[in-house]
Amino acid sequence: MDDALLRSLTPGVLGILVRRGADFAAAEDAVQDALVEAIRVWPADPPRDPKGWLITVAWRRFLDTTRADAARRRREDLVDSEPAPGPTPTVDDDLQLYFLCAHPSLTPSSAVALTLRAVGGLTTRQIADAYLVPEATMAQRISRAKRTVSTVRFDQPGDVATVLRVLYLVFNEGYTGDVDLAAEAIRLTRQLAAAIDHPEVAGLLALMLLHHARRASRTASDGSLVPLAEQDRGRWDTALIAEGVDILQAALARDRLGEFQAQAAIAALHADAPTAEETDWVQIVEWYDELARLTDSPVVRLNRAVAVGEADGARAGLAALAALDDSLPRHTAVAAYLHERDGDLATAARLYVEAAHQAPNLAERDHLTRQAARLNARRQR
Amino acid sequence: MAKYLLLKHYRGGPAGVNDVPMDRWTPEEISAHMQYMNDFASRLEKTGEFIEGQALAPEGAWVRYDGPGRPPVTDGPFAETKDLIAGWMVIDVDTYERAVELAGELSAAPGAGGKPIHEWLEVRPFLTEPPTIAE
C-alpha cells in the first residue's frame, strides 16, 4: 500500500466530514483513526474505492464518539442531514483545510503541526519525531491548535500567503528523521497547486523543486555542508530542475510577481549554470533587487551583497555589505567570504572564526571553522 | 520553532535577589518551590512547549583518556570549579522572546519567606539543522 497515496486522501475525507456538520477537532481525530484502520486492514483486503472507504469508516467513528459524548440529539440531527452518496466537492474542501490549518490565529509551530496532521495525514508520533519533540508535547500542541481554530468558520476564505509561509517552513526547517519533511512539503504544495490557480503557489513549488534537485550534492558523505560553488553538478536531479523551471516560467508569464517566484528565479539561474564560473550573477543581482523591493528583508540584502561580490568583484560586495546592519545573522560569514575573495586572508580567517562562533547550526559552524583552518594553514606555508 | 536550554546553576551565575540557601528554608517552602517547578513543567507540556527537565547531583568526577590499554583517569571533584550546573529544562518555542518570558517565570519560583527567588537562569539556544534554502 502506498502511504503517500493514502495520506493524499486525508484532506478530502476530513473536508467532507466537516461539511456534513462534524466539528473540526472531532472530525480530525476520526480521520486519524480511519487512517490507522486502513493501514491495518487494506493490505489484506484492499477497498475498491479507498476514499469512500475512509469516509465511511471516519464518519462511523465520528458518530460513535459523538454518541459516547451523550450528544444524542445533535447526533440524530447529523444522521438526518447526512447527504446522499454521490460525487462530493473535494478541491474546495482541500483548500479550506489548508486555510484553516494555517489560520493567522495560530503560532507558526502550531500551524506547521496541524497542517502536517490534518492535511498531510501524518501521525502525532511522526510529527513529534520529525521535530525532536516528545509525543505528549506534540499531542498537546496539536489539540491546542485545534481548539484555537474551532471557532473559525470552515467556509471562510483564507489567505494563500499564510499557507505558503507554513509550507515554506516545513520545507526549510525540517530535521531528517523517519519522515522526509522536504518531500512532504513538496507533496502538500503540489496538492495545493492542484486546488488553486495562484502564481505564488507555483513559485513556491518551483522553488522547492529546484532546491530539492540539489539535495544529494549539498552534503558530503561525512555529513559536512558542500557550498553551492563546490557541488558536483552532475548529481543534480535534472528532471526536478526541468519541472521546476517549467512551473516557474508559466507562473512568471502571468506577470504577478511575488517573493517565491523571485526566489525560484534565483534558484533557476543557479541550476542553469553548467559550472559555478558560468553563473549569471548579473541577472541574479537583478532578481535580488526585485526581491528586496518585494520583501525588504535584511536577509535578502545580505544575499544580494554576496551576488554583487560575484558580479562586480569583492570590493563592490564589501561596499554593499557595509550598508547593512552588522548584527544580521550570517553578516560576519559573508564578510569573511568577501574578504577572502579580495585577497585579505588574515581578515578573512579572523572573521571566519567569529562567524563560526555565531553560527546557528552545527553544520554551518563546522564549515566556517574549516574555512578558517584552511586559510590559517595556507598563511603559515 | 527553536529549542532553548534553561540552565540552573548551583554556583557560577550572579546571586539572585532572594538568595537564602535552601537548607535555611522551611520544609513547606521547599515543597512549594518543588510544586512550582512541577506545575511550570506541566503547564508547558499543555502549551506544547516542553521537551524535558533534569536535575543533576552537585558532586561529579572529572574523567579523561589515559592512553591505549589503560583505564581512564578520574579526578576531582574540585572545590574551586567556578561553574556548577544544578539542572536544566529544554523548551521548544516560536521565538527567543518567548524563551526569555518563560525563563523569567521559572526564575520566580518561591523560596525563603514564600517570596520569588529571582535566581539567574542561563538561556542558551540549541544549534539547529541547516536550512534547506541557503541562498
**CA gap A108, A113 in Å, rounded:** 9
Mean pLDDT of the A302-319 span: 97
Please give the share of chain A, as a percent, with pLDDT higher than 90. 75
pLDDT at A156: 74
DSSP state of B91: E
Contacts of A303 in chain B (CB under 8 A): 135
pLDDT at A368: 95
Tell me the Ramachandran region of residue B38: left when phi exceeds 0, alpha when psi lies from -120 to 50, beta otherwise.
alpha
pLDDT at B78: 76
Phi and psi dihedrals of A52, rounded to 5?
Answer: -60, -40
Which residue carries 575573495 as its cell? A341
In this prediction, residue A114 has a pLDDT band, given cuts at 50, 70 and 90, of: very high
Helices (H), chain B: 27-46, 96-107
Cα distances (angstroms) measured from residue B28 to each of A326, B25, B32, B113: 51, 8, 6, 10
Contact B133 A306 (CB under 8 A): no
Closest chain A C-alpha to B35 CA, distance in angstroms:
20
- Kindly give the pairing relationship between strand B73-75 and strand B84-93: unpaired
**Is A127 a residue whose pLDDT tops 90?**
yes
Contacts of A144 in chain B (CB under 8 A): 46-48
A200 grid coordinates: 505564488
Contacts of A361 in chain B (CB under 8 A): 127-131
CB-CB: which of A110, A140, A142 is closest to B45?
A: A140
Q: Which amino acid is at A99?
A: F
Query: In this structure, how many other beta carbons lie within 10 angstroms of the beta carbon of residue A163?
Result: 29
pLDDT at A186: 96
Contact A107 B133 (CB under 8 A): no
Contact B132 A207 (CB under 8 A): no
- Kindly give the pairing relationship between strand B84-93 and strand B2-11: antiparallel
Contact B132 A113 (CB under 8 A): no
**Is A360 a residue whose pLDDT tops 60?**
yes
DSSP state of A360: S
**Residue B95 C-beta-side C-alpha neighbours within 13 Å:** 5
Closest chain A C-alpha to B9 CA, distance in angstroms:
23
Mean pLDDT of the A19-41 span: 92
Contact A108 B45 (CB under 8 A): no
Q: Please give the residue of chain B at the shortest CA–CA distance from A216.
A: B132
Q: By mean pLDDT, which of A79-93, A190-204, A287-301 is the weakest? A: A79-93
CB-CB: which of B1, B46, B52 is closest to A173?
A: B1
Tell me: domain B2-58+81-125, CATH 3.30.230.70, correct?
no
pLDDT digits (tens, 9 = 90+) for B37-70: 999 999 999 999 999 999 998 888 899 999 999 9
**CA gap B132, B121 in Å, rounded:** 33
**Is A79 a residue whose pLDDT tops 60?**
no
Bridge partners of B2, per DSSP, are B93
- Determine the 3-state secondary structure of A140 from DSSP: helix
Mean pLDDT of the B101-124 span: 94
In this prediction, residue A74 has a pLDDT band, given cuts at 50, 70 and 90, of: low
pLDDT digits (tens, 9 = 90+) for A220-243: 988 889 999 999 999 999 999 999
List, in order, residues 6 or more apart from A365 with CB less than 8 Å away.
Answer: A356, A359, B127
Q: In this predicted model, which residue has the larger pLDDT, B86 or A282?
A: A282
Tell me the Ramachandran region of residue A227: left when phi exceeds 0, alpha when psi lies from -120 to 50, beta otherwise.
beta
pLDDT at A255: 96
Interfacial A residues in 166-185 facing B (CB < 8 Å): 169, 171-176, 182
pLDDT at A381: 65
CB-CB: which of A110, A134, A306 is closest to B51?
A: A134
Closest chain A C-alpha to B104 CA, distance in angstroms:
21
**Is A321 a residue whose pLDDT tops 60?**
yes
Q: By mean pLDDT, which of A22-26, A83-87, A240-244 is the weakest? A: A83-87
Angle at which helices A50-68 and A24-41 pack, to 10 degrees?
A: 130
Contacts of B3 in chain A (CB under 8 A): 132
Mean pLDDT of the A100-105 span: 94
Q: Which amino acid is at B95?
A: T
**Is A78 a residue whose pLDDT tops 60?**
no
CB-CB: which of A137, A173, A267 is closest to B48?
A: A137
Polymer length of chain A: 381
Domains of chain A with CATH codes:
210-279 (no CATH), 285-381 (1.25.40)
Interfacial A residues in 1-60 facing B (CB < 8 Å): none
pLDDT at A76: 54
Q: In this predicted model, which residue has the larger pLDDT, A276 or A75?
A: A276
Which residue carries 479550506 as its cell? A96
Contact A266 B135 (CB under 8 A): yes
Alpha carbon dihedral A231, A235, A240, A246, in 10-degree steps, equals 60
Question: Is A186 in the B-facing interface, judged by CB distances under 8 Å?
Answer: no
Give exposure, A327-344, as e/b (b: 16+ Cβ within 10 Å).
eeebbbbbbbbbbbbbeb
Q: Is ipTM over 0.90?
A: no
In this prediction, residue A80 has a pLDDT band, given cuts at 50, 70 and 90, of: low
Contact B132 A171 (CB under 8 A): yes
Contact B92 A225 (CB under 8 A): no
**Is A348 a residue whose pLDDT tops 90?**
yes
- Kindly give the pairing relationship between strand B2-11 and strand B122-125: antiparallel
Mean pLDDT of the A35-54 span: 92
pLDDT digits (tens, 9 = 90+) for B89-103: 999 999 999 999 999
In this prediction, residue A108 has a pLDDT band, given cuts at 50, 70 and 90, of: very high
Q: Which amino acid is at A22?
A: A
DSSP state of B131: P
Give me the total of CB pairs closer than 8 Å, taking one residue from chain A and one from chain B: 84
Chain B residues in contact with chain A using a Cβ-Cβ cutoff of 8 Å: 1, 3, 45-52, 92-94, 125, 127-135
In this prediction, residue A176 has a pLDDT band, given cuts at 50, 70 and 90, of: low
User: Do residues A78 and A22 lie in contact, with contact meaning Cβ atoms separated by under 8 Å?
Assistant: yes
Q: Put the strands of the sheet holding B84-93 in their side by side order.
A: B50-55, B84-93, B2-11, B122-125
In this prediction, residue A115 has a pLDDT band, given cuts at 50, 70 and 90, of: very high
Mean pLDDT of the A347-372 span: 94
User: Do residues B118 and B17 lie in contact, with contact meaning Cβ atoms separated by under 8 Å?
Assistant: yes
Question: Is A362 in the B-facing interface, judged by CB distances under 8 Å?
Answer: yes
Give the residue extent of every domain in chain B.
2-58+81-125
**CA gap A216, A278 in Å, rounded:** 21
Tell me which of A116, A137, A175, A214 to substitute to probe the interface with B (most B C-beta atoms closer than 10 Å).
Answer: A137
pLDDT at A72: 56
Contacts of A263 in chain B (CB under 8 A): 133
Angle at which helices A10-19 and A24-41 pack, to 10 degrees?
A: 140
DSSP state of A176: B
Bridge partners of B93, per DSSP, are B2
